Amino acid sequence: MSTGLVVDQVTLRHGDGEDETVALDRVSLHVPRGEIVAVVGPSGAGKSSLLAVAGGLTVPDEGRVVIDGVDLAGSERERARIRRERIGYVFQSNNLIPALTALDQIRLPLTFARIEDPRDPRELLAEVGMEHRADRRPHQLSGGERQRIGIARALVTRPGMLLVDEPTAALDRRREVLGLLARETHRYGMGTVVVTHDHDVLGHCDRVLEMVDGGLTEQQPALA
Per CB under 8 A, the list member of 39, 89, 141, 145 interacting with other proteins is 89
Q: Tell which one of 13, 30, 64, 81 touches other proteins (CB under 8 A).
A: 81
SS3 153: helix
Count the residues of the shown chain that bind other proteins, applying the rule CB under 8 A. 30
d(CA 27, CA 63): 9
Q: Fill in the amino acid letter for 221.
A: P
List the one residue out of 93, 111, 105 whose CA is nearest residue 134: 105
The continuous run of DSSP H or E covering 123 comes out as helix 121-127
Residue (22 or 80) nearer to other proteins, CB: 80
In the complex, least distance from residue 81 CB atom to other proteins, rounded to whole angstroms: 7
Residues 99-138 vs other proteins: string with x where CB under 8 A?
A: ---------xx-xxx-------------------------
Q: How far apart are CA 31 and CA 103, in angstroms?
A: 30
Site membership for other proteins, residue 80 (CB under 8 A): yes
For the CB of residue 48, give the shortest distance to other proteins in the complex, in Å.
4
Alpha-carbon Rg of the chain, whole angstroms? 17
- Which residue(s) pair with 13 in the sheet? 22
Q: Are 187 and 155 in contact (CB under 8 A)?
A: no
- Nearest Cα neighbor of 216 from 39, 31, 1, 2 is 39
188 binding other proteins? (CB under 8 A): no
Position 70 contacts other proteins (CB under 8 A):
no
97 counts as binding other proteins under rule CB under 8 A:
yes
Contacting positions for other proteins (CB under 8 A): 43, 47-48, 51-52, 55, 57-58, 77, 80-85, 87, 89, 91-92, 95, 97-98, 108-109, 111-113, 153, 165-166
